[in-house]
């Protein structure tokens, strides 16, 4: 066997035994084969120690070296008796008493010899020059196509590592916009290169008045590992894209309404779109609210199998269905049915509104008890990262909601002045919160040093944009009594109980509205003077 050195000379290579797993074959580096080299990689975090089976001092995975893991795989092939034992490997590790040597089939393929001399003293490839400044190309009068174009299949047309991009003014403008956004938002070099590859595929042959459909290049973008929304943002700035992606609400409604009659599907779809988009006399609703209302009406329609149209529903049908519900579900169903039939009466889809004058029962506010100290300790123990500890501190000390935590900006934190602004309410910064903020800001600066996201909390996805982190990224304490929302409630109740249930004090401390402050004060009075008084912990 032979290989070439960096200067092109031939260096002989011999076949020998790996120093770690004793496999016979070509070694990769430091006298070991490629699988052992990857097994000992620092990012895997396998510690060194004495193997529980062979007794050698090696890198260990769950207490066993790689040679014993390979032997366990051979024993599994020989001893497996059922489907489960044929896929589980760990039970065979304890039974290893001998080692069967094997061949290493890995190979270290050498790169072709260099055509340019190696640059000693410089780490990495030289930095590429930024794309030249470009603007929108001048538009000329063009004949619009008579027929809409069919789907287009994009493919890689040029390799930017081997040569410059094609000479297309639209591509030059797109690359300039991408570079400007990347510099403003602190994109990583890998993301910048991925965006350049996608723009070259889309704009290398672009001509006016062609339009680019999102459905044509969505799959290509996924293969290039770049966020589709970032590409759409650049193409929208250039005004050459048609976003034909279906709205998420449309797919959800098509699935949920599949079992209803045709008139129900038509009317509910139109009503849901009106709620989502708004009308001249109503504001747009949040998509979560629309889904809640539509789901409530779907449950009601399922209980009326003999009604094939809205106009066939009577007041008795509505009251009978609402009688089967309780609490918040009944309150939501009443609001949804009243809104649906009010909309149907306005658009002359029904002759009479069966929910006219219908009032649902007022659901009393729940009485929240205080959390036990063990419940709070369990939540604190579960917060093992810097961002998790910050979320717990903001909820348990400052009574911040998860949405308010996500919306915090860097400008809202004044470490020098010891103040923090949460939902527009300026609060003093205690030592615990200040330390949690310092830990998170240190990690944030080391992990994303170039991000331009103004929010306090950033993630791998949001670091490349200006949006807050997603709701699912926030610490999830599901399964524990002390969730973030429950910690917030407990903090407000503790303040109310300690200060004698004064609503003015609660409104000033937490920035609550008058009605909310009165509700928490009432809850505190129930705890101090009601049946829950004997469960109150000792407060300082």
Task: Give tens-digit pLDDT for 393-428.
Answer: 999 999 999 999 999 999 999 999 999 999 889 999
How much is the pLDDT for 245?
85
27 to 18, 64, 285, 308: CA distances (angstroms): 6, 22, 64, 74
**What residues have CB less than 8 Å from 96, skipping those under 6 apart?**
53, 54, 68, 71, 72, 75
Over the chain, what is the mean pLDDT?
A: 85
User: Is-contact 498 331, C-beta < 8 A?
Assistant: no
How much is the pLDDT for 487?
93
Widest distance between CA atoms in the chain: 93
Secondary structure (DSSP) of 153-215:
-------TTTSPPP--HHHHHHHHHHHHHHHHHT--HHHHHHHHHHHHHHHTT--TT--EEHH
18 or 116: which carries more pLDDT confidence? Answer: 18
**What residues have CB less than 8 Å from 455, skipping those under 6 apart?**
406, 407, 408, 409, 410, 462, 467, 468, 469
122 or 268: which carries more pLDDT confidence? Answer: 268
The mean pLDDT value for 489-511 works out to 91
Tokens of 512: 């609550």
pLDDT at position 381 over 50: yes
The mean pLDDT value for 493-498 works out to 91
69 to 23, 40, 143: CA distances (angstroms): 13, 14, 68
Please state, for a pLDDT cut of 70, what percent of the chain lies above it. 88
Q: Which residues pair with 49 in a beta bridge?
A: 58
User: How crowded is residue 24: how many other Cβ atoms within 10 Å of its Cβ?
Assistant: 13
How much is the pLDDT for 5?
45
How much is the pLDDT for 138?
81
Tokens of 69: 């893991």
Cα-atom radius of gyration of the chain, to the nearest Å? Answer: 32
How much is the pLDDT for 156?
64
pLDDT at position 117 over 50: yes
How much is the pLDDT for 129?
78
Instruction: Name the burial class of residue 309, with classes exposed (0-12), middle (13-18) and buried (19+) by CB atoms within 10 angstroms of its CB.
Output: middle
- The single residue listed with the structure tokens 């929010």 is 455
pTM of model > 0.85: no
How much is the pLDDT for 127?
66
pLDDT at position 462 over 70: yes
Beta strands in 311-442 (DSSP E): 413-414, 419-422, 425-428
**What residues have CB less than 8 Å from 75, skipping those under 6 apart?**
92, 95, 96
130 or 157: which carries more pLDDT confidence? Answer: 130
How much is the pLDDT for 246?
84
Tokens of 469: 């982190």
User: How crowded is residue 386: how many other Cβ atoms within 10 Å of its Cβ?
Assistant: 18
Secondary structure (DSSP) of 423-488:
TTEEEE--HHHHHHHHHHHHHHHHH-TT----BSS--TTGGGSSSPPPTTTS---TTSS--HHHHH
Secondary structure of the chain: what % helix, strand, coil (to 5)? 45, 5, 45
How much is the pLDDT for 465?
87
The mean pLDDT value for 447-455 works out to 89
How much is the pLDDT for 11?
46
Confidence of residue 171 (pLDDT cuts 50, 70, 90): very high
The mean pLDDT value for 324-341 works out to 91
173 or 540: which carries more pLDDT confidence? Answer: 173
Confidence of residue 6 (pLDDT cuts 50, 70, 90): very low
CA distance 197 to 195: 5
How much is the pLDDT for 527?
86
How much is the pLDDT for 435?
95
């Amino acid at each position: 066997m032979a290989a070439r050195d960096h200067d092109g000379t031939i260096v002989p290579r011999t076949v020998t035994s790996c120093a770690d797993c004793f496999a016979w074959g070509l070694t990769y580096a430091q006298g070991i084969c490629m699988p052992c080299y990857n097994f000992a990689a620092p990012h895997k975090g396998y510690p060194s120690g004495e193997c529980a089976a062979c007794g050698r001092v090696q890198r260990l995975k769950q207490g066993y070296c790689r040679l014993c893991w390979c032997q366990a795989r051979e024993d599994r092939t020989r001893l497996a008796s059922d489907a489960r034992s044929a896929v589980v490997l760990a039970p065979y590790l304890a039974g290893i008493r001998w080692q069967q040597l094997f061949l290493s089939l890995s190979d270290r393929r050498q790169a072709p010899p260099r055509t340019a001399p190696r640059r000693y003293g410089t780490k990495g490839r030289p930095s590429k020059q930024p794309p030249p400044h470009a603007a929108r190309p001048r538009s000329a009068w063009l004949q619009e196509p008579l027929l809409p174009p069919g789907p287009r299949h994009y493919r890689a047309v040029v390799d930017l590592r081997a040569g410059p991009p094609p000479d297309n003014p639209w591509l030059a403008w797109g690359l300039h916009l991408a570079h400007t956004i990347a510099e403003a938002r602190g994109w990583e070099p890998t993301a910048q290169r991925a965006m350049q590859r996608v723009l070259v595929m889309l704009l290398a042959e672009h001509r006016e008045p062609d339009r680019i459909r999102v459905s044509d290049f969505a799959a290509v973008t996924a293969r290039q590992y770049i966020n589709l929304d970032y590409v759409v943002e650049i193409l929208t700035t250039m005004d050459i894209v048609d976003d034909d992606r279906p709205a998420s609400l449309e797919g959800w409604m098509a699935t949920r309404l599949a079992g209803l009659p045709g008139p129900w599907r038509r009317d509910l779809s139109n009503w849901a779109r009106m709620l989502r988009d708004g009308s001249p006399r109503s504001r747009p609703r949040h998509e979560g609210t629309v889904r809640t209302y539509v789901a409530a009406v779907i449950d009601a329609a399922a209980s009326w199998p003999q009604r094939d149209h809205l106009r066939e529903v009577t007041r008795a049908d509505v009251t009978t269905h609402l009688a089967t519900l309780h609490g918040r579900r009944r309150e939501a169903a009443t609001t949804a049915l009243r809104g649906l039939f009010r909309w149907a009466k306005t658009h002359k889809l029904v002759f009479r509104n069966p929910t006219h004058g219908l009032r649902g029962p007022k659901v009393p506010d729940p009485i929240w008890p205080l959390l036990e100290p063990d419940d709070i300790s369990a939540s604190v123990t579960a917060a093992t990262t810097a961002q998790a500890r910050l979320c717990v501190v903001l909820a348990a000390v400052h009574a911040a909601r998860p949405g308010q935590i996500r919306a915090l900006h860097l400008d809202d934190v004044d470490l020098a002045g010891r103040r923090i602004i949460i939902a527009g309410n300026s609060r003093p910064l205690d030592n615990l919160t200040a330390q949690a903020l310092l830990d998170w800001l240190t990690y944030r600066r080391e992990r994303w040093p170039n991000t331009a996201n103004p929010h306090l909390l950033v993630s791998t996805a949001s670091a490349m944009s200006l949006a807050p982190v997603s709701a699912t990224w926030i610490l999830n304490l599901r399964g524990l009594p002390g969730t973030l929302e429950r910690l917030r409630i407990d903090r407000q109740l503790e303040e109310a109980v300690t200060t004698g249930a004064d609503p003015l004090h609660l409104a000033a401390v937490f920035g609550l509205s008058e009605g909310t402050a009165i509700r928490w004060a009432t809850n505190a009075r129930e705890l101090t003077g009601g049946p829950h008084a004997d469960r109150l912990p000792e407060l300082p």
